[in-house]
Structure 1
């Protein structure tokens, strides 16, 4: 593990699509390089009813970006008098990051969400200056993302139901963090459906 500022605190996140459901997951480790400080550090934040953002990178910037995004989304819902959609949240996030492109936040981001009327699913990722991506089947950011992306492609199949999606996301994440010293200590997984959101905590290797 290098001295790169993005991997200084470690951590990883993954988002994956199913049929009218979408999952987003992250590990629970907060560390300073190879020293583990806490094992309950969430990197996933909810905005609106069916929209989630995962942020990985420098822990202080994770908290700053999540708070600033919360302020903007609250303002949007007050002003527009309507619920936040995943694409709007993603545009807000990329704008927030791009505004600081000459002194960027040290975070990579994932946005996962669902349109509760149509059931359409959304998974986007972004780098630290707000580069925009297409709506993809799976995306991952963080120190173990190289391992997890390959595993995610292996476990992913089209039109998974919520249980299959949970299983695929969990297996990809847990097996990926086992190969990375900067992430781990269990995980949390959100499965987002039209009418409910399920949160599960996973036990992982405690080392």
Structure 2
């Protein structure tokens, strides 16, 4: 079985950032790489992204299901889905299968299209959401990222400062975990633009 790497989101002042590594590994052989370009972060709105980690088949299935439900919502309501509504929808989907859960964890990062407030939230495999005003993460190197986030993150980061903090956190976390890496993509979401940058990290 193949397993995804990690996703990290941080909140700044009027902005949020979400990032993922590119590693796809084998759950039965830790440290073995299957691919170095596996997509884990998806754009689901003008200012909203979701990151999914876990078994590849479950990640793809959950992505297809939430994309379908989001389309139905937006057709019926004739408006973009808010981050809070999207989180509730994803949480409900995962909770429906709690007795035979999808092996997926999720992170939602957005700037609310109506209030323009930054929003980040993590969701575990049975749909329990955890909203934070600092940082959230999921995936293989959660212990390493927790320590680096606690060390590097500070409130009220500007977009460039947020990108630098994300990059340093990912780089140092990947150095301490062999099941992640092979490059990373960072998205910084502001009210009027989205910045996407690829950073070079360990590839061994």
For Structure 1 versus Structure 2, the TM-score category normalised by the shorter chain is over 0.9
TM-score, normalised with respect to structure 2: 0.95
In 2, Cα distance between the equivalents of 1:155 and 1:119?
Answer: 25
Q: Deviation at 1:136?
A: 3.2
Deviation per residue, 1:91-135 (Å, 9 max, x gap): 011001001001100011111111234331111111100012233
Match of 1:23 among 17, 25, 29: 17
Size of the aligned set, in residue pairs, is: 201
Which deviations, in whole Å up to 9, do the C-alpha atoms of 1:132-181 show, x marking residues without a partner? 22333101111101101110121111111100000101111121011111
Whether 1:197 and 2:194 are equivalent positions in the alignment is: yes
Q: Which residue of 1 aligns with 2:123?
A: 126
Q: Which moved more, 1:149-158 or 1:19-28?
A: 149-158
CA contact 2:4–2:40 (8 Å) conserved in 1: no
Find the aligned partners of 1:69 and 1:117 in 2 and give their Cα distance. Answer: 21
TM-score normalized with structure 1 length? 0.93
Higher strand share: 2
- Structure 1 contact 28–42 (Cα < 8 Å) conserved: yes
Structure 1: give runs of 5+ residues left out of the alignment. Answer: none
* Structure 2 unaligned blocks of 5 or more: none
Aligned to 1:41: 38
Match of 1:181 among 171, 178, 181: 178
* 2:7 is the alignment partner of 1:13: yes
**Aligned counterpart, 2:145:** 148
Residue deviations 1:52-94, cap 9 Å, x none?
1111111111111111111111111111001111111110110
Secondary structure of the 1:150 match is helix
Deviation, structure 1 residue 10:
4.3
- For residues 100 and 124 of structure 1, the distance between their equivalents in structure 2, rounded to whole angstroms, comes to 20
Report deviation, 1:206. 1.3
Q: Which runs of 4+ in 1 moved over 6 A?
A: none
CA distance in 1, matches of 2:108, 2:35: 24
Aligned to 2:45, the other structure's residue is in SS state coil
